[in-house]
Structure 1
Amino acid sequence: MGDLLGVAVLGAGHMGADHIRRLNSVVGGARVVAVADPDGERARDALAGIDGASVHTDWAAALDAPGVEAVLIASPGPAHEEALLAAFARGLPVLCEKPMSPDSTGALRVVEAEARLGHRLAQVGFMRRYDTEYTRLKSLLDGGSLGRPLMLHCTHRNVSSPGHFTSAMLINSSVSHEIDAARWLLGQELTAVTVLRPTSSSGAPEGLTDPQFALFETERGALVDVEIFVNCGFGYQVRCEAVCEAGSARIGEDGGMLVTGAGRAAHEVPQDYLVRFADAYDREVRSWVDATRAGRVTGPSTWDGYAASAVAEAGVRSLEKGGRVAVELAERPALFAQPGIANT
């Protein structure tokens, strides 16, 4: 590879445009050489001020563009499987945003295709593993000073949901982050899920079940609960409290600017995930670029992406049909036997 890793970015929407900016002006060691988006004008807008990158409306053409050495997939979830398999066929390292695939069958096909290669090429974009607070909590739990983890209490709130958001997407798009974070923090697979439906908020679009409450069971008896509320109206909040045998630890407390005036004080609440997790995204992409330039693949694997899809799929079944739904995972290929849930 040259001095700078040549990256093709698939998708130039909110997430893709932010990654284009990040690759060219934040992380170092990489440059965007091709961008693909069905909306060519949007792709050109995302590249404003960046010279030398080609624009494509066909993602496959972007993979074959001159100078492409790696791929960052930030297109909608249903397009991920085909793009990942095409990248594997070309031997291109990939960072794929979550969900790796919106259904477990497609995700398993990706896992099996990578296993046939005999080596890893893909990292899945569960960026909370790179957030400073989450990594501190992970180290604390792994250190054992608080004893065995018994429960995780999680909160995930958005100001508002996109117009295309469905009730199922609260689980398979939003809560997929908590699913992976729980697996990683606890070092356990999730084995069953129950999704409850409180009365929907008056702020939720018509037909959207929001908020929801998900309860996950783990293979060693811990419980994980998640409040997901994507039209709370006031800000973006992600919190997690680990309750252990000898103590507890909580992350995600509001710690923005404190404004004092008119007889009261108030913290700012982030309005967007790109604000709350800006540093985590930077660390994630920097880690991917550095590892790729060194010929290595680190971070969450396609198995992690598959496991998250399988758990989310069980959650959607519980949402739609009610009751507790067991999570069924395929046999893990030897390629992913280690590190599994660990982030290495």
Structure 2
Amino acid sequence: MPIRVGVIGAGVMGADHIRNLSTTISGAEVTFVADLDAGRAAAAAPPSARITTNPTELIDSSDVDAVVIASHDDTHAGLVLECFEAMTPVLCEKPLAPTLLESREVVEAEADILAATGARLLSMGFMRRFDPGYAALREATQARSQGEPLQVHCVSRTAASGPGASSESAITNSAIHEFDIIPWLLGSPVTEVSWQAGRSSRHSTGDLRDPSFMLLRAADGTLATLELFLNARYGYTTACEVVSEYGTAALPEPAALAINQEGQRRSEVPADWRPRFADAYRLQLQAWISSLRRGEPAPLATGEDGLRASQVAQAMIRSLHSDGAFTKVTY
């Protein structure tokens, strides 16, 4: 029997999850979709699925074996805790919560369940761990074939920031990916961070200073940098390079259509992250569903991983409000 999945949130990310689970993921069936906009839920849901504007109705439904949370960041912690009450496995999109207090509450609640039942219910949607490029980069880094890693350089650029974006939300919602992937690549936690910004783009509005530049120091001494530019305008790109003692290793450029026309050569840049990480999302969902069908622990990022990323984010926010001073990460 397929795993019956309920998806909370039918926006861009939720609709993609619904499409993948319904068309490319083996052993899954989307049976319920919840969104505050009933029309959006109906548009994203497969014909046989139920729809609701009440996520609690979905979580408590006997038609749901597992839940994907792709709603607004502010709802994540509360919905995960509801899934815990129903003893329902849940895949939560990043971040675990916008605040450290909420993240810690979720992890402590799962620890109580684990101690009582031996069951892990929460998986985190840090999909870059399943991207073939990042996986190869991690393998090369941890093999130490180029000696010890010395620096990691990351770039993350999007075409335009979302409504109401601020420097804080850029840290908790966008940079959070690097806060997970950098220690995952190195096998060493981040211990100290610094947030910097110079001249901002004319497209940066409100409380958002954009682009920003972040420094992260790992426990093993490796220094990592992140350029985060939410209003790059030209499209979506991400890059990561590990500089080691005898060489470097970097993410490959994703394949793109090359066009030769009228004396010019060009290639198109995707408008957002979905084409770049399509394989990662698919592989992550399949790993989650397959583990549920086998009754095995999911090989995805855990709640503890989500908490550690939130702890790095909170240290970065403290640096932001301290004129870029290096700030210790408290675990």
Which residue of 2 is the match for residue 320 of structure 1?
A: 321
Determine which of 97, 101, 110 is the counterpart of 1:114. 110
Contact 1:255 1:267 (8 Å CA) reproduced = no
Q: Which amino acid aligns with 1:46?
A: A
Aligned to 2:303: 302
Structure 2, gaps ≥5 residues long: none
Residue 193 of structure 1: aligned partner: 193
In the TM superposition, residue 206 of structure 1 has moved relative to its aligned partner by 4.5
The aligned residue for residue 71 of structure 1 is 67
Cα drift, residue 252 of structure 1: 4.6
- CA RMSD of the aligned region, Å? 1.2
Does the Cα contact within 8 Å between 1:254 and 1:267 map onto a contact in 2? no
In the other structure, the counterpart of 2:225 is 225
1:10 corresponds, among 8, 18, 22, to 8
Deviations 1:234-281 (A, max 9, x none): 010000000011110111535311111222212221111111111111
User: Aligned partners of 1:207, 1:145: CA distance in 2, in Å?
Assistant: 44
The residue number in structure 2 matching 1:242 is 242
| 2:176 aligned with 1:176 | yes
1:42 aligns with 2:43: no
Bigger shift: residues 314-323 or 127-136: 314-323
2:270 pairs with 1:274: no
Q: 1:27 aligns with which of 25, 28, 44?
A: 25
| 8 A Cα contact 1:254 1:268, kept in partner | no
C-alpha distance in 2 between matches for 1:101 and 1:80? 6
**Contact 1:5–1:30, Cα closer than 8 Å, also in 2:** yes
TM-score norm. by structure 2 comes to 0.96
Whether 1:101 and 2:97 are equivalent positions in the alignment is yes
The residue number in structure 1 matching 2:251 is 251
- Superposition pairs of residues 83-94 of structure 1, within 5 angstroms: 83-94=79-90
2:123–2:300 contact (8 Å) kept in structure 1: yes
CA distance in 1, matches of 2:211, 2:252: 19
Count residues in correspondence.
325
Which residue matches 1:340? none
Moved over 3 A (4+): none
Is this contact kept in 2: 1:240–1:252, CA < 8 A? no
Q: Percent identity?
A: 38
Distance between the aligned counterparts of 1:166 and 1:28, measured in 2?
39
Q: Which runs of 5+ in 1 are unaligned?
A: 330-344
- CA change 1:30–1:135 in 2 (3 A) is same
Match of 2:135 in 1: 135
